[in-house]
Every structure is written in C-alpha cells, then in structure tokens.
A and B are shown apart, each in its own frame.
Chain A
C-alpha cells in the first residue's frame, strides 16, 4: 500500500517510491532518481507529479521545480512514445552524427524536441551519450543504437513502429 492516498503513479512505481525515500541517510537524496522514474511512468513530469513528489520527499514544490529545471533529461511536456535522441557531439559528429540527425528529421518530419502528430516518435539532438567508440550513436528511450547509418535508422524506426521496440518501463 502506498503511503500517499490517491497517488498518480502506477502501483508498482508508487511502491518503489515508498521504498526509495527510506534507503538514504537523507530523504531528499531520492529526489533526482524519483523525478526520472516519475517521467518514465507518466511520460513527463507533470504538475501533479511535482506536487506528489514534494509530498513524498517532504520539501516545497518550488524546491522540486528548482531541481527539475536543472537536469537535461527531465521534461515537463510529453514526448513521443519513443524518444529518439541523436548525439552530435565531437566523436559522433566526425562519423556522421549530423547526417543521422538530418535523416531522422526528414524521416520523422519533425525537428529538435518535436513530437510526431501520432505521438509515436519525438526527436532530440543530445550531447555526448557515452558511446563515442561506437559512433554515430543514438538512444531511443534508454536503448543505445550504435554504428548507425541512415539505412539502419530506417530499419530501427520500422521496428519501433511495428511494436518491436521497448517501452520505457
């Protein structure tokens, strides 16, 4: 049972959060991962999520928002079901990262931080994701895809469209 009545999170996530706040020497240490997991659960960090997290961590909503606005992975608006994050930082740039980004823009018909009308894909140009030796690379949600070519991107998009991609949870 969740300690918060009328939680907005899934039962699994609520149970996870109940535990998360207890494992640290200081309750607030749960905040950064909790924001990210809340986003995984809801698709974004909504106002209601901010309110509930503030209650769970026992801090002000303002303090939650202050932290929320700092971290680049956290968003306050929904992304697509599959968030495509293309790295264009130096190692990827040298091996065609911009070409991959352009291809994704063209293929999906959307730009940076935009969502396709059907809500299936969103696109983001991101900074280094730690896959430099396997460049160019991207992440779709949390899954890494390395050594990309435009053709490989096409195959990946089709797989995700066909429901063979992984959900965040």
Chain B
C-alpha cells in the first residue's frame, strides 16, 4: 500500500481528504463532497467554465492546456452526444499521482466528471484506468455504484431533473493509450493508435461526438476549485499557473512520495526540503523533472520554479509532475539507454520516425553501453532524435526524442568519456538484462 507522506510546505487541496476514509460515500459527503456539483447544477455551464477559467487550472496530464478554455471549445449544439473522458491511464515513468487519487478520493473523480459533463452539456462520462490499476478500478467501481445508489448518478440526479451516467473502463497495458486520441480508440475497442489532428476531440472525439478529455488529477481538482472559487485557487499558484498540483518525487531522495505543492514551488526545495534531500547524503547529479519524457536538468539547474512556464524557460517541461532524482552514482549513458528502451518498447510502430528512431537509438546506446561505441554514435543519436521531433501523429515520438536530446547535449562529455573507456557512475544493468527483456 502506498505510504502517505506529509510536509509542512504542502498546500492540501486535491489531497485534502487523503487518509480520511473518503472512499466511503457518507464520509465524502461529510467532507463537503457532492456540494460542488449541486452548485454547478444551480449555476449552469457558463458559470462553471468561468470559474475554471479564473482558476488558472492547466491540464495535469502534462500538456498544461488551460482547462476552462478546453471546455469552452466544445460546441454548445451538437447532433451527436457529447462525452467526458477521464484519463487515468497513468503510465509516464516517474508518475504515480493518479494512483493515490483513485486510492484515497474516488468520489472527487466522479464529482469532477459530473461537473465537466454539466459544463459541456454531456450526459455520459467515462473513467479510464490503466489495466494494471485493477485494485484502484475496484475502488472506483464501488464508488460509482455507491453514487448511483444515493441518486447522485443516473436519472434525475439530486432531484434536479439532470441525468448523468458514468462508466468505468479498464485498459490492458499500453503507455501510448495515455495519449488522448489513442485512449478514445482504446475505448472504442481498437488498438491504441493515435488519430491525426485536427479535428480535435472537442469537435470530433469519442464515437465521433464532441469530447472533453482531462487527466484524472485535473478532474479531481474541479470540485475543490468550485467550492473555494476560481480566484482563490489561482492565488495559491504562480503567474498563469493556478493552484497546486501533486508532485511525485522518486529516485534517490530520502523521503520519496506524492506531495501537493503550490505551482511555482522551488524544485531545489522540493528535492532538499520536502523530499529530505539526496539519499544517503550523496551529491545530486541530475533531475528528470516531470516524468521520463522531460529533458534532464543538471544539478546546477534546479533553482527553478515548478510551473509550466518556468520549466519551459529552463528548457524542459513540468510534464506529469513526476520528479526523478539521480545521485552522483548514476551513469547517464545507462539512464539514457533505459529511458529509450522504454519508448522503443511502447512505440506502436504506426509512424516510421518513432518506430525506427527509438529502435536505432536503443541499438546505438546498447552498443555504447556495452563498450563498443564510437565517437560518431553520439552524433548519430542526436541526429536520430532531432529527426523524430514533430514528425509523428502522437507525442510518443517527441517523448522519446526530447529526453534523449537532453542527455546527449547536457552530458555529451560523459558519453564521449564512456566511449573512451572512462566510465562515470556505477552501471547497474548488464548487457544480458538489456537484450533479454526489451
């Protein structure tokens, strides 16, 4: 069972009910649950969207698109039914924040889904969880059943004449399905191959109907935002980055865990104060700041605020909020190889630059790692990654190329020294292990 952690610098909005037994519907109601949705029914769609716009909430899946704006793109009139989709296919390495939301506060996800539905005029929402999260799916299924039993879901909810249904759905193992259009394909019973855009989901989404798709954390934050007010939520964060978010700090830190911090919080403080510093008093080498697809930051680059804009300026991304900390013992060559091995495994093969690019980068780095690299390999890896960027249907190609470029650009000397036989760090993967499984 995931350990609940706490730190005085945390500002608990989304995690306010964690550890308080809120999986129980009565407890959830006691803790202000299902109030926001009733306000939303009374106030109407325009009010909801305005509150969300004022909140400065930006998508917590990683793209950081303003949620209120996204909802406003859905056409008011539509011949086809509209849908709300909750993306709980959390699969970005380094990310386990939705895990704790489903575990501790499933009703917040349900309530947020309902509010999103009211905002866009939808009567049906889907909550999609990755297949590995079976125990969490069971928690969600029970929560949905309890909400139906209370009359909070179904026909004439809260006696207001409004209908809303929710279906929970299991995936079956695929990183790529976390991409919004691939998730829709999966939900339609197909391979999770992404769709070309435009049209965007807000116009043509699930079953061809206008669809809003949001990350589970974004959705879970919605009831809180409506209760506290958009401006109050915005104020918790930094400029143009409203509120708080869940950061998962993992790797070489003393106190790994999921912490809720204000947007714009210092990355240095997140590592050294909140997570207790580098494990065993070792020196910091690098940080992957927002899940494995984000370009690496060196130990000198961590004086930066954790929001979408500041991280962008620092040449990386806030991503999914999964901060992975690397101490001085890590071989960047090996870490880069492990990262690309993941993307090579997950590439669906639909777009050639991604299929071939991930494969050749992996092959080249495998050779380098095994001691047979040549100087030209580093250039080749960079060339391959640069030629993947922006040339694929879905962001998986970019997600593989961006961290690779970060590693070879920022740690080029380490790659070259490694090729010359001067290995930095302590490699922990054997050639057998790499060739064996992936």
Contacts and interface: CB of A to CB of B under 8 A. Distances in A.
Interface stretch (B24-32, B149-157, B167-175, B265-273): B167-175
B53 interface: no
Contacts of B93: 89-91, 127-128, 132
Given A26-B188, A71-B131, A132-B324, A33 B169 contact: yes
Contact of B94 (A70, A73, A90, A146): A90
Interface stretch (A2-10, A135-143, A150-158): A135-143
Interface in B169-219: 169-175, 186-192, 207
A130 B132 contact: yes
Contacts of B191: 66-67, 70
Nearest to A39: B172
Interface in B376-415: none
> How many A residues are at the interface, by size bracket?
35 or more
A134 B251 contact: no
A71 B173 contact: yes
Interface string B347-389: 0100000000000000000000000000000000000000000
A133 B325 CA distance: 11
Contacts of A101: 433
A33 B90 CA distance: 17
Contacts of B438: 125
Nearest to A143: B135
B436 A73 contact: no
B168 to A, nearest CB: 9
Contacts of A146: 1-3
Contacts, number: 169
Contacts of B187: 29, 32
A144 B136 CA distance: 11
A112 B345 CA distance: 15
B251 A70 contact: no
A139 B131 CA distance: 12
B23 interface: no
A130 B175 CA distance: 11
B135 A32 contact: no
Interface string B77-96: 00001000000001111111
A71 B96 contact: no
A25 interface: yes
Most buried by A among B170, B250, B324: B250
Contact of A142 (B95, B134, B326, B436): B134
A115 to B, nearest CB: 16
B234 interface: no
A59 B189 CA distance: 11
Given A35-B172, A146-B2, A131 B186 contact: no
B58 interface: no
A94 B324 contact: yes
B172 A32 contact: yes
B2 A134 contact: yes
A90 B335 contact: yes
Contacts of B95: 128, 130, 132
B332 to A, nearest CB: 12
A25 B339 CA distance: 38
Nearest to A86: B437
B142 interface: no
A121 B173 CA distance: 20
Contacts of B345: 127
Given A29-B187, A70-B192, A132 B135 contact: no
A67 B189 contact: yes
Interface string B408-438: 0000000000000000000011000100111
A36 B257 CA distance: 30
A160 interface: no
A106 B283 CA distance: 33
B437 A32 contact: no
A88 to B, nearest CB: 8
B333 interface: no
B256 A72 contact: no
Contact of A91 (B98, B170, B251): B251
A79 interface: no
Contact of A133 (B96, B172, B288): B96
A132 B170 contact: no
B125 to A, nearest CB: 12
A161 to B, nearest CB: 22
Interface in A89-125: 89-91, 93-95, 98-99, 101-102, 111-112, 125
B274 to A, nearest CB: 12
Contact of A127 (B3, B96, B188, B342): B342
A28 B376 CA distance: 49
B189 A32 contact: yes
A31 interface: yes
Contacts of B339: 90
Contacts of B242: none
B338 A90 contact: yes
Given A98-B433, A139-B132, 11 more contacts: A23-B167, A33-B172, A57-B189, A71-B173, A88-B338, A88-B433, A89-B342, A94-B326, A112-B436, A127-B93, A128-B292
17 contacts: A24-B167, A25-B207, A36-B170, A71-B171, A88-B338, A89-B93, A89-B292, A91-B93, A93-B428, A125-B436, A127-B93, A128-B91, A130-B99, A131-B96, A132-B95, A134-B256, A135-B256
The 4 closest A-B pairs by CB, nearest first: A73-B173, A31-B189, A28-B189, A71-B172
